Amino acid sequence: MDQNSVENLPRRTFLKNAGIASGVMILDSRIVRGTEANSAVRVGLLGCGGRGTTDATSMVNSAPARIVALADLFDDRLAAARKHFDELAASKGHAAIDASQLFRGPRSSEEMFASKQVDAVIIATPPYFHPEHLAAAVAAGKHVYCEKPVAVDVPGTRRVAEAAKKAQGRVSLDVGFQIRKAPPFVELVRRIHEGALGQIACGEAHYNCGFIEMPDYPGASPKVLRLRHWLHDRVLSGDIIVEQNIHAIDICNWVLEGHPLRAVATGGRKGRTESPGDAWSHFNVVFFYPNDVHVSFSSTQFGANPAFDVNERFFGEKGSSESPYSGPLGISGENKWTWQGSQAPATGGFSASGSFSDNLAQADSEKHADFIHSITSGQFHNQAADGIDSALTCMLGRTAAYTNRPVTWDELVRSNEAWESGIDIFNLS
């Protein structure tokens, strides 16, 4: 892999306009094609499942944005999303989605990207399709909000890097790491970067949740069932470490301001029996970061009802930090500090849609408002580099576990192994 194609992309910067969620902004028609001043950014949703619907709903509620187009492979998903967003539009005094902007089937993505009624798109399809959809959206001149991970294999990250080059200065390209906008996490990481822990020696992170049930689809073909149950499919999802655990691993990269140099790992599928499905049930990884910082990471995704628990802890010469999704978040030691901001009641539960409360209560609204503001202000984002780094970090741990041997970053990024689903979306019988 050409390292320059990844590392020379602009790194994520924190905008200072954190209060835009409740503000009113004037749109520049030169920035948002086809809109009039004082109107909303017109957003299309590609992939009308739980997380995509959560993203799009939050975008409408947090910023001057309207959902004007929907696209999905399946009729039932499209119909459910249409009903939801038409009701949301009516509650705000807006028109329903025009029937011409409902795109269904294997060409739905390209049809939506070609629409002159759409300024920006949310990509919430199975991760296997993210590089293809992201590249096509950028080529069509759309602003892009792509859910994580940006890819499931190394060649896919190269395609994203190339798309990011084309997006630079032309459109915004955001990646769905909403935790990087959650106020408790932003303040915690700021303090760590300013030296609150001193020199960091090691860290520990984990992401534990129960088995995620998927609806039954009687009579569905094996290909359709794989697509419907993509979260259980290693190729379509990237496995749990890449698709789900990436949030915790991304925070480790954020805190340590870089990616690991190598990893050793193990894991397996013990405890999982679903069919179809071949995703693993657990991973245990040690990541070796620069400056001899070791981070131990573990995850589980099986069982009937285990406690949902996500946390990252770092240990330094002056103290330690912890950043759970739910519960006390802060720093102990010489520079003791605990987040005291406005927090929703602790639930500690898993959200299949990816919508959380507690320490993440403001994550989605801040993230989505920030994306829309980048468009209306002309201060376009390009978050591909962080998206690629964190996806590759997860792939590093996955590869070490799959091969049961140490794997270095340099070895990983040279990989040409392209994952193939074997699914032709034009022939799902």
Q: Do 346 and 253 share a structural domain?
A: yes
Average pLDDT over residues 408-417: 98
What is the domain-level CATH number for residue 98? 3.40.50.720
Both 29 and 7 in one domain: the answer is yes
Q: Are residues 250 and 167 in the same domain?
A: no
Residue 419 located in a structural domain: no
pLDDT reported for residue 307: 73
Shared domain for 257 and 108, answered yes or no, is no
**Is 425 among the domain residues?**
no
Number of neighbours of residue 109 by Cβ within 10 angstroms: 26
Alpha-carbon gap, residue 32 to 429, rounded angstroms: 40
- One domain, residues 232 and 341: yes
In this structure, the answer to whether residues 168 and 188 fall within a common structural domain is no
Question: Which residues, in sequence order, are CB contacts of 199 under 8 Å at separation 6+?
Answer: 291, 316, 317
420 part of a folded domain: no
338 and 399 fall within a common domain: yes
Q: What is the pLDDT of residues 36-87, one digit of tens each?
A: 334 799 999 999 999 999 999 999 999 999 999 999 999 999 999 999 999 9
Whether the per-residue pLDDT at 339 is higher than 90: the answer is: yes
Say yes or no to pLDDT of 315 above 80: yes
Q: Given this model, what pLDDT does residue 30 score?
A: 38
Cα 348 to Cα 366: distance, rounded to the nearest angstrom: 21
Instruction: Indicate the helix (H) or strand (E) that contains 313.
Output: strand 309-316
Both 123 and 199 in one domain: the answer is: no
Structure confidence at residue 295 (pLDDT): 98
Q: Residue 341 above 80 pLDDT?
A: no
Confidence of residue 306 (pLDDT cuts 50, 70, 90): low
CA distance 389 to 369: 24
- Provide the angle, in degrees to the nearest 10, between the axes of the packed helices 75-91 and 50-62: 20
pLDDT at 215 exceeding the cut of 80? yes
Query: Would residue 399 count as lying in a domain?
Result: yes
Residue 245 lies in a domain: yes
CATH no. for residue 340?
3.30.360.10
| pLDDT for the residue numbered 305 | 62
Which two three-digit tokens encode residue 247? 């949030």
Q: pLDDT digits over 14-28, tens only?
A: 222 322 232 223 334
Q: Identify whether residues 254 and 403 lie together within a single domain.
A: yes
pLDDT in the model for residue 39 = 72
Tokens linked to 46: 């590609």
The more confident residue out of 279 and 12 is 279
Regarding whether 21 and 109 lie in a shared domain, the answer is yes
Q: Answer whether residue 274 is part of any domain.
A: yes
Residues 74 and 199 in one domain: no
Listing from the earlier edge strand, what are the strands of the sheet with 337-338?
A: 337-338, 330-333, 319-322, 309-316, 200-209, 293-301, 282-289, 262-268, 407-408
Q: Within a domain: residue 161?
A: yes
Give the number of domains in the chain: 2
What residue type is assigned to position 331 of the chain? I
Query: What local confidence, expressed as pLDDT, does residue 304 receive?
Result: 78
Q: What is the pLDDT of residues 217-265, one digit of tens each?
A: 999 999 999 999 999 999 999 999 999 999 999 999 999 999 999 999 9
Residue 344: give the domain boundaries. 181-359+389-413
Same domain, 269 and 298: yes
Contact 419, 153 (CB under 8 A): yes
Q: What is the pLDDT of residue 187?
A: 97
Q: Which of 103, 353, 74 is nearest to 225 (CA)?
A: 74
The pTM of this model reads: 0.89
Q: Is residue 365 part of a domain?
A: no
